[in-house]
Each structure stands twice: as structure tokens, then as C-alpha cells.
A and B are shown apart, each in its own frame.
Chain A
């Protein structure tokens, strides 16, 4: 016999689909099938069932091999590492629940750590832009129910957020959008001919690194002013036409991704994209939304927002919170040798940071908390495997539009495994003990 769990939340990307169905064995120990998920999401659930999964903490030996250690030993190592360090980096926080983020934040406060999340190499530039100019945005349901103009800029949801287009943006039939995709005009701005571009009405193949110019040209075109013949590789006629398409919509939404946040111009690109959105509100209704990657990177920014007042790059090492991207961001700290221990949870900097940063992690006392074996666990001194959030333990996660959803536990974790939150609570208690010594 099996049973089916419905309304399951997918802990993969910021789309945070909450309509999955998961078939589990009667004893709740084995996960058998996943329905409604995209290929990546389904794999995330099924991967938890891997027979060769690491289920106990392990410590790197002198010869490079792993030695299994107990959770108590891992807690002791982590607590000692954090208390011994003058300025530890506590990085990641994007693939875990808000409850764990809150406990981690308290540890960071007690030991004087720098707290940073994956926005630091992703949408951190968007967060800076929002601090410059604000952000007119909305929930994804507003897009589904109202939007008739969809602009994807520097993002490729067909691959990165596979169900975004069917659930929210291009295809769904909403309250005022009963015709589904036939009632919507879709524009893609991307230097590459992506799979998302292939379903668009218009693909503006912008020259790489020239997004700012093109965004600025839109603002010129809205006002009917003169443009040069070609801007950023796009003939002006096409720009005027696209600008008119946007202005004539009832509800415009701009989604943007790392093609603009991490290419030349960075936060200035987003400033300009938001200015485009502000301008459009003079003519019609318009909103803009970052395509957040990890399923709960948004949540870590929220938790730190209400606890510290800053969404990422929060330096607590002076006893109060400071925020200065470029100084208090992970790669800058690592490459300038300003942190003396590295704690990673819910992210994989080993795979995504520059090699020069990864080497610094390797050179330092380091712990990686992660259900998987990853490039990060390969360079850390201690690896603590934990239960999968959203599969083996619930907890709060924030969707890319900041909507909080409670993820579900669908199966039991392997016997004796800790969750992120449990492990962190033990570390916090131990840290307080050590400091009281």
C-alpha cells in the first residue's frame, strides 16, 4: 500500500510550486513517485532516496580521506570554530527554512559573524538597486490574473524556473486573462536564442553587456523622443515598436534574471529596469520582479530584514549590524583574507564562487551543512549531512514574490539524522556554553 501526499511544496527554485503530489510508502519512510513537478524538482525529491546518501557527519583527515564522526563531535567542532574565529563567515542560507535562518542569525550575533546569502552572487545587485530607487512589484497571482504584457529580461525560465511560464506568466488563464497566452504579448530580451525566446512574440537580441543602453532607449521611446538608428544592436524601429507594445498593455510585468544582474553595469542595469517600470506607470500599470533562484533565498533576506534591517552582506562582527556590499560581501571578504573561518549552509559556493575564493575556504577551518555531497563539501574540513527541508522536514519558505509558504514534510529522514534547525540549535547552545566558560 502507498499513500499520496497532496499540496506539496517544491524546495527547488523561487517559483515555489505548491501543487506537487508525492507518493510515499505506507510507513512514510520511502518516497516513491513525484507528480506535477518539473524535471529538476522531481529529481530533488527522488535524490533524497539515494541509497548511497551520506547520513552521518564526517571530518577530513590529514591524508584527505573522510572519517565518520558523531553529530556531537560535529557540533563541538563547529561551535569551537565559530567561537575561536575573530570574524567567521556564515554563508548560504538559501536552501533552508526560515526557522533555521533565524537560529543561524542568533549564532551569528553571538559569535560576531558576517552573514551572507547567495544573493551576493545573484540578485544582490537587484537589492542594491531597490535601495536606490524602490521597486513597484506584485504577487505572481496578479501576473496570472491581469498581465497582458510579459517581458523576460536576461532570464531563461524555460530552464531555470521550468513551471514559471505555465503557472504564472505566459500560459495560465486568470480572472481577467481568460484567453491565456493568446491574450498576452511576450517579449524576451536576451543575447542568446533561448528556449524562452523561442516562445516569445518578440525576441530582442541585445548585444552582450549593452542592457543598460537598451533599457535607457525604452525610456526615450516611451516619451517619443529621438533614438539613434541602432541601440545595443537593436534597430530603433524595433525598440519603438516594443515600447508601444508595453505602453498599450493593461498590465505590464518585467521579469529579470542574472543576465542583467551580473553582467556589465550590474545594479545600474536594475536601476534602469525599475525606472522603466516607474515610467510605464505613467501610461498604464506595470510591475517588475527578480527571478529569484534558490527556493528560500528570498526568505533569508526577509529574516535578516526584520532581525537586522539588511537583506544580505550583514556584518555582525562589531557587535552591531553593518551593511556595505563590496566590503561585507563573501567574495570580497574571502579574497582579501578578512575572514578566518567559513561556515556554509544551504548553498554551494564551491560550485559557484570564483576559484580564488574557493581556495580560501579550503585553507581555513570550515564546515559545510548540506544533505548532498557537493563541491563545497569537498573543500571543507567537516561535512554535516542533514535532512532535506521540504522533503523530510517542513518550515517556512518565501517565493520570489515574497509570499511565504509552509513547506511540508513528506517522508522521514534516515534514522538519526538531524535537521538544519536542530543542528544549529545545538551549536547555539554549545557556543553560549563555551562563551560562558
Chain B
């Protein structure tokens, strides 16, 4: 493989603690190496430019059945933005739900190289893997959903952690999944009867278990296995005024549990898109920010990481395994609604949504997301996401950087709101003058998410031995700049390397890379009871046979397996 030396760039790397110093980055055999290890490298002149590791997205909906529902039922999402094929690039379409090809290329253009699909319905795992296979460049993994799974509900009702863990290990292997995802625990099962679980103590119909038991049990099972990532949580009561108490109740369920993982993470719960879970008030008329209360908790509890779910003020397509929420949303906005309940496992819904700067609530949501990041004491535990495409499309990450890095940019946005004064009254953002620097951005978009995922040994930094995922941006942090310069520079990487392959050269895609699919193979002691339960449920209640369930090799042409041993 070619050797590269990226010279004289301003490097921001939380792993090595480099804060904008001029450091050379050396690439050899797909890894970062010491500069002395190179013999005859190709030299990339990065003088006056910013150099960072490849971005890591911990939570995005980019592949799988509900994403494809979003594509297929929104032809309007393709209007005006289609890109013809040219060079090695195939044709690309879609704005909020782009085609797989565009997904890969657009992430790469922003300097991102690893993206996790945040919710994989196990029965549809093949579909998710087919889409990831057809997404170029990016390393990807997918989180199967567990929070409404009948096996999990039955085991955790009796607090059978070992059985739940054995089942999780089996399902991760069967679906080639990466982590334990929980979406509206119990609520989506309730939705199969048109109901919901609105707080952590609201019992699940028939199954006689509460969301609190599911959450705590899954954290314990996750730590029993010692998986790379912690339990990945989307709490009950998403998107409703006053829901921050449910969020705090959910956070508290992680108290007293210590991480048990050799993969270097410190948290036992990652809570995703917290913006949607930080609302005060009791109606849309008086909804207000509770970001401060939420961040007070996050800042004082080390065993928790979160991501933002930043609203970007775009027309987008919401999609979640939180089936009852999507029904609630279609009743609010009266736009088209797709729903897909999945036998024994989960459900999902899809509804288009317009976050308009002229609507007070949308502007409040925008402010809350930014508050979460700006109130963060430790940027290694608070990550930038839009819950793509739920709060906005991922292509807005550079714009979010602008808002986080520039008070002036936030002021400009406030001035563009129709209900500016009401928004300011309902939120804290106008009183926050913090401006993040690129080091903190690198923590929130690279080193932090990589560590939380248990992938700090591969991604998120520029230390020798890590994967050679390196982005060069045309941005000089030492010279004066306007806020929009940030958005422009970080939206179009000058150069990008993925595992040592140059995939972007002078802002042109020059390679489709060598994408890998990450999954976790957890070994557990033989568990005859769980295997008997699996056989029985497939025989009696599933509509596919057990032998036709497991996703096999050719759906993952280039797998990267992370082995975990929980047999001791």
C-alpha cells in the first residue's frame, strides 16, 4: 500500500492531546505510524490547513427497512438534488434520505469515515446489511433493537440476566449486529395494540414488566457480556412537553452500575438524541428547555454518554422504532405516515417533518440541542448528531459546528426566527457565550464517540497504530474567519484517507475505499434453556424458520469481527 505523509497541517487530536500544533501525520499499510517508519511516502502539503482523524457517527439512520421506506415513499425528497454519474461516482439522489451511494460519499466529503446504523430490526437484518454493503467508503455497524423483544421481556421480567445475555449474544451473531439498542422500551410492544408506555413505570401490556426493568436489565446484561459499546438508549416519552423527568428517571437506572468492558469505555449507558428528551412545560404552548437540568445530571455522572439530536431547521423525514411516537407525529402534522410492526421484536414509523424557523417549537428544539453541547463539561461524553434524518440530515454537521463555534452564528439564527423573543424566553441559549474550539469538536465527533463505542483502539485519533482515517480541511484556525467559513471548509474535505486509502483528493472522490462491516461475536457458556426458547418461538410464533433467520457471509463481503469472551 502507498505511504503518505501529511505535512505541516494544524492537527487537532484528543487522543494525542494535540491542540492545533503543526504536526506531521504518517500513513503506512492502512495505519497511522511514526514519521520515521516511512521510506518513500507521497507527501500531502497541509500547510495552513486543519488535520483531524476521520469522523465517527455514533447514531444515524442510514440503512435498513425504515430508511428505505423513507426513500421510496418520498419521491419529493429527490426533487432538484439529483447528481448524475461521473467518473467513479455512481448517480446519487435524495436530501433527507439519500441513496446508499450518496450516503457514503456525503459522509466522506465531511471527513467522516465510520457511521453506525442506529436501529436494525433483527428480522430485517439482511436488508440492513444489503444497504450497508452498497454504501461505499464507510466502516459501518448496526445496532439490533432489543427493548421490545419478547425474549428480553420474558427474561427480564424475572431478572434473568444470564439468559438475557445469552440471547443477546445469539442475536448479535444471527443478525451480525454491533450493540444493544433500546427504543421506547415496552412502548413499541404496547403500540402493537395501539398503546404506549409513557414513563419508566408504565407496565407493558400482557408482559407484566416495566420499562425501568427492561432498561436496568439490559444494562446489566450488556455489562455481563462486556460488549464494546454500552447499552444504547432511546428513552420512553420522546418528543413530549415535560418529558425531561422521564429522561432523568431513565438516566438514574444506570446509577451504581460499573462498566465491565476491556474496550476502554467508561459509560454503561449511551443516551441518544437527548434534545428530543429535554422538554419542560406541559403543552406545546409552554414547552421550554430543560437542557440545564439534563446537563447537570450528565456532567456529574461519569458512567453516561449522550448525543445531541440537533435540529437543523430543514424539511426532513423522521423515522424511528418508536412506533407510537410516529403515530403521534402524524396526528400533529397530518403528513403521510408509514408504520412497520415487526413480529416478536419491534416496530417502526416514518413521517416527513418540516422544522420551520417560523414555528416557535422548532426554534426551541434547535436551541435545546445546542445548549446540551455548550453546557457539556466533558466533550468526550457529549457527541454531535442530528439523529439523522430525524432532527435533520447529517450533511448539516458542518453547520452545527458553526453554531457551536460561533456565538455570532447563533445570534444570526436567533434573528431569523419569527418568534425570537418567545424562543429566547423558553431557552437558555441566548445567555450562553461559550464557543467551542476545534479540539472540543474533535472530541465530540471523533475521539469521544470512538471511545464510547469501544473502538478507541481503531478510530477517533491519530496515534500510531490506529486506522489511517485522516481528513484534511481547508481551514486555517489561526487566521480570522467568518462563521460561514467553518461550514464551508468542513463540508468539503480537501483530502480524506480511509484505512490508508486516499478516497478524496483535492475534494474529488477518487476511490470507493474498502468498506468494512463491524459486528460483535460474543461467546457465552452454552445455555440450553435459551436455545430451547429460541427453537420454540421460531416454531410457534415466527413466520420464518430458525434455519432461515441467520444472516450469512455474503451479506458482509468485508466483515470485521470483534470477539468478546463472556464464558468466564
Residues of A within 8 A of B (CB): 6-7, 9, 18-19, 98, 102, 106, 109, 127, 130-142, 144-146, 167-168, 174-176, 250-251, 278, 281, 284-285, 287, 301-303, 305-311, 316, 318-323, 396, 398, 402-406
Q: What is the chain A residue whose CB lies nearest that of B339?
A: A136
Evaluate contact between A404 and B194: CB separation under 8 angstroms: no
Given A18-B544, A130-B73, A309-B78, A285 and B336 contact (CB-CB distance below 8 Å):
no
15 contacts between A and B (CB under 8 A): A134-B350, A134-B351, A136-B337, A137-B341, A138-B339, A141-B344, A144-B543, A145-B344, A175-B540, A281-B194, A301-B72, A303-B130, A306-B99, A307-B100, A308-B93
Evaluate contact between A285 and B344: CB separation under 8 angstroms: no
Given A18-B545, A310-B72, A142 and B192 contact (CB-CB distance below 8 Å):
yes
Q: A135-B73, A284-B194 are in contact. List 18 more A-B contacts (CB 8 A).
A: A18-B544, A18-B548, A138-B340, A138-B347, A141-B543, A144-B343, A174-B540, A176-B206, A285-B193, A287-B339, A306-B63, A306-B71, A308-B99, A309-B72, A403-B123, A403-B124, A403-B544, A404-B127
Evaluate contact between A404 and B542: CB separation under 8 angstroms: no
Chain B's nearest CB lies how many Å from the CB of A153? 19
**Measured between alpha carbons, how far is A353 from B82 in the docked complex, in Å?**
31
Does B131 have its Cβ within 8 Å of any Cβ on chain A? Answer: yes
Evaluate contact between A138 and B342: CB separation under 8 angstroms: yes
Q: What is the chain B residue whose CB lies nearest that of A172?
A: B543
Q: What is the chain B residue whose CB lies nearest that of A395?
A: B554
**Measured between alpha carbons, how far is A357 from B494 in the docked complex, in Å?**
51
Evaluate contact between B339 and A406: CB separation under 8 angstroms: no
Evaluate contact between B350 and A109: CB separation under 8 angstroms: no
Given A139-B123, A321-B78, A406 and B336 contact (CB-CB distance below 8 Å):
no
A-B residue pairs, 3 tightest by C-beta: A141-B343, A134-B336, A319-B84
Evaluate contact between B130 and A98: CB separation under 8 angstroms: yes
**Measured between alpha carbons, how far is A278 from B327 in the docked complex, in Å?**
9
Contacts between the two chains (Cβ within 8 Å), count: 181
Complex interface residues of chain B between 327 and 370 (CB less than 8 A to chain A) = 327, 330, 335-344, 347, 350-351
Chain A's nearest CB lies how many Å from the CB of B300? 42
Chain A's nearest CB lies how many Å from the CB of B150? 8
B98 — which chain A residues lie within 8 A by C-beta? Answer: 309
A403 — which chain B residues lie within 8 A by C-beta? Answer: 123-124, 543-544
Evaluate contact between A306 and B100: CB separation under 8 angstroms: yes
A109 — which chain B residues lie within 8 A by C-beta? Answer: 85, 90-91
Q: What is the chain A residue whose CB lies nearest that of B102?
A: A309
A176 — which chain B residues lie within 8 A by C-beta? Answer: 206
Evaluate contact between B93 and A134: CB separation under 8 angstroms: no
A175 — which chain B residues lie within 8 A by C-beta? Answer: 150, 344, 540-541
Contact with A along B87-131 (1 / 0, CB 8 A): 000110110011111000000000000000000000110110011
Chain B's nearest CB lies how many Å from the CB of A33? 19
Evaluate contact between A102 and B134: CB separation under 8 angstroms: yes
Evaluate contact between B339 and A402: CB separation under 8 angstroms: no
Contact with A along B550-568 (1 / 0, CB 8 A): 0010010000000000000
Does B256 have its Cβ within 8 Å of any Cβ on chain A? Answer: no
Chain B's nearest CB lies how many Å from the CB of A273? 14
B71 — which chain A residues lie within 8 A by C-beta? Answer: 305-306, 309
B555 — which chain A residues lie within 8 A by C-beta? Answer: 396
Q: What is the chain A residue whose CB lies nearest that of B128?
A: A404
Evaluate contact between A139 and B341: CB separation under 8 angstroms: yes
Chain B's nearest CB lies how many Å from the CB of A130? 5
A302 — which chain B residues lie within 8 A by C-beta? Answer: 68, 72, 127
**Measured between alpha carbons, how far is A405 from B330 in the docked complex, in Å?**
31
Evaluate contact between B336 and A140: CB separation under 8 angstroms: no
Residue of A106, A174, A306 with most partner-chain B CB within 10 A: A306
B327 — which chain A residues lie within 8 A by C-beta? Answer: 281
Does B75 have its Cβ within 8 Å of any Cβ on chain A? Answer: yes
**Measured between alpha carbons, how far is A396 from B552 in the docked complex, in Å?**
11
**Measured between alpha carbons, how far is A7 from B91 in the docked complex, in Å?**
38
Residue of B134, B339, B347 with most partner-chain A CB within 10 A: B339
**Interface magnitude class on chain B:** 35 or more
Chain B's nearest CB lies how many Å from the CB of A405? 6
**Measured between alpha carbons, how far is A127 from B68 in the docked complex, in Å?**
13
Complex interface residues of chain B between 391 and 412 (CB less than 8 A to chain A) = none
Chain A's nearest CB lies how many Å from the CB of B140? 13
Pick from A141, A281, A402: contact of B542, CB under 8 Å: A141
Chain B's nearest CB lies how many Å from the CB of A85? 18
Given A310-B72, A310-B78, A321-B82, A134 and B340 contact (CB-CB distance below 8 Å):
no
Does B77 have its Cβ within 8 Å of any Cβ on chain A? Answer: yes
**Measured between alpha carbons, how far is A145 from B335 in the docked complex, in Å?**
30
**Measured between alpha carbons, how far is A324 from B91 in the docked complex, in Å?**
18
Q: What is the chain B residue whose CB lies nearest that of A145?
A: B541
B100 — which chain A residues lie within 8 A by C-beta? Answer: 306-307
A310 — which chain B residues lie within 8 A by C-beta? Answer: 72, 75, 78
Does B74 have its Cβ within 8 Å of any Cβ on chain A? Answer: yes
Does B83 have its Cβ within 8 Å of any Cβ on chain A? Answer: yes
**Measured between alpha carbons, how far is A430 from B435 in the docked complex, in Å?**
56
Residue of B74, B91, B340, B543 with most partner-chain A CB within 10 A: B543
Chain A's nearest CB lies how many Å from the CB of B79? 10
A284 — which chain B residues lie within 8 A by C-beta? Answer: 194
Chain B's nearest CB lies how many Å from the CB of A106? 8
A142 — which chain B residues lie within 8 A by C-beta? Answer: 192, 341-343
A309 — which chain B residues lie within 8 A by C-beta? Answer: 71-72, 75, 77-78, 93-94, 97-99
Evaluate contact between B543 and A406: CB separation under 8 angstroms: no
Q: What is the chain B residue whose CB lies nearest that of A407?
A: B548
**Measured between alpha carbons, how far is A106 from B98 in the docked complex, in Å?**
18
Evaluate contact between B82 and A6: CB separation under 8 angstroms: no
Q: What is the chain A residue whose CB lies nearest that of B347?
A: A138
Given A142-B341, A405-B544, A321 and B91 contact (CB-CB distance below 8 Å):
yes
Does B65 have its Cβ within 8 Å of any Cβ on chain A? Answer: yes
**Measured between alpha carbons, how far is A285 from B327 in the docked complex, in Å?**
11
**Measured between alpha carbons, how far is A349 from B134 in the docked complex, in Å?**
30
Contact with A along B25-64 (1 / 0, CB 8 A): 0000000000000000000000000000000000000010
A321 — which chain B residues lie within 8 A by C-beta? Answer: 78, 82, 91, 93
A287 — which chain B residues lie within 8 A by C-beta? Answer: 339, 341
Q: What is the chain A residue whose CB lies nearest that of B336?
A: A134
Evaluate contact between A174 and B351: CB separation under 8 angstroms: no
Evaluate contact between B342 and A139: CB separation under 8 angstroms: yes
B540 — which chain A residues lie within 8 A by C-beta? Answer: 174-175
**Measured between alpha carbons, how far is A127 from B82 in the docked complex, in Å?**
21
Complex interface residues of chain B between 512 and 568 (CB less than 8 A to chain A) = 540-545, 547-548, 552, 555
**Measured between alpha carbons, how far is A141 from B192 in the docked complex, in Å?**
12
Q: What is the chain B residue whose CB lies nearest that of A319?
A: B84
Evaluate contact between B91 and A308: CB separation under 8 angstroms: yes
Given A321-B78, A323-B75, A137 and B99 contact (CB-CB distance below 8 Å):
no
**Measured between alpha carbons, how far is A402 from B146 in the docked complex, in Å?**
20
Chain A's nearest CB lies how many Å from the CB of B123? 6
Evaluate contact between A139 and B543: CB separation under 8 angstroms: yes
Q: What is the chain B residue whose CB lies nearest that of A301?
A: B72
Q: What is the chain B residue whose CB lies nearest that of A144?
A: B543
Chain B's nearest CB lies how many Å from the CB of A253? 11
Q: What is the chain B residue whose CB lies nearest that of A137?
A: B340
Given A135-B338, A285-B192, A404-B124, A144 and B84 contact (CB-CB distance below 8 Å):
no
B340 — which chain A residues lie within 8 A by C-beta? Answer: 137-139, 402
Residue of A167, A168, A175 with most partner-chain B CB within 10 A: A175
A311 — which chain B residues lie within 8 A by C-beta? Answer: 72
A319 — which chain B residues lie within 8 A by C-beta? Answer: 84-85, 91
Evaluate contact between B84 and A320: CB separation under 8 angstroms: yes
Q: What is the chain B residue whose CB lies nearest that of A136?
A: B339
Evaluate contact between B545 and A137: CB separation under 8 angstroms: no
Chain A's nearest CB lies how many Å from the CB of B563? 25
Q: What is the chain B residue whose CB lies nearest that of A283?
A: B194
Q: What is the chain A residue whose CB lies nearest that of B206?
A: A176
Chain B's nearest CB lies how many Å from the CB of A315? 11
Residue of A144, A146, A281, A305 with most partner-chain B CB within 10 A: A305
Evaluate contact between B91 and A404: CB separation under 8 angstroms: no
